Amino acid sequence: MPKTDFVGARGKIADPKRLVESLQNLRVGQGLVLNAQLVCGIDHLRSAVAHAIRAFEREKNVSSTLSIETLLYASGERQISKAMEKMGIAEGAECAVIVFFDVEDIDETLRSLGLERDDSVIETSKEKVIRFGITKNEIETVPEDSLSDLVLERIAFVEIQKR
pLDDT by residue (tens digit) across 97-127?
A: 999 999 999 999 999 999 999 999 999 999 9
Over residues 126-146, the pLDDT tens digits come to 999 999 999 999 999 999 889
- Residue 159's pLDDT is 78
The one-character DSSP state at 58 is T
Q: Distance between CA atoms of 10 and 113, rounded to whole angstroms?
A: 11
Predicted confidence band of residue 157 (pLDDT cuts 50, 70, 90): confident
Number of domains into which the chain is organized: 1
Residue 31 maps to which CATH number?
3.30.2380.10
Predicted confidence band of residue 162 (pLDDT cuts 50, 70, 90): low
- Residue 16's pLDDT is 95
List of residues 6+ apart from 84 with CB closer than 8 A: 71
- Residue 160's pLDDT is 76
Coil/strand/helix, residue 109: helix
- Residue 64's pLDDT is 93
DSSP H or E segment with residue 149: helix 147-162
- Measuring CA to CA, how many Å separate 134 from each of 33, 115, 125, 149, 150? 22, 30, 12, 11, 7
Could you list the residue range(s) of the whole structural domain that residue 63 is in? 4-162
- Measuring CA to CA, how many Å separate 129 from each of 28, 39, 44, 126? 33, 8, 11, 5
Average pLDDT of the chain is 94
